[in-house]
Amino acid sequence: MLLIFIGFGDSFLPKPLNNASLQTRTAINNLVLGMFPTWEPKVKPHQRTEKAIEATRTGGKVK
């Protein structure tokens, strides 16, 4: 019953309960997303390609 209330309650419940369902789902989503930090790679994924393009343009070698 709790899963139905949280997952689908805002689509079929009357006005005071559908807002509670939506707010509960939003709070749970924010809580779960807050557990995982934003991941950023340690290296720039396109750095090697950008250097090769720049070397081609200038006629030099890749560093």
Residue 43 confidence (pLDDT):
81
Residue 22: the pLDDT is 94
Nearest to 21 by CA among 29, 13, 31, 33: 13
What is the identity of the amino acid at 49? T
Q: Per-10-residue mean pLDDT for the chain, 63 residues long? A: 90 91 95 87 84 86 61
Rg value, the chain, Cα:
25
Q: What is the pLDDT of residue 23?
A: 95
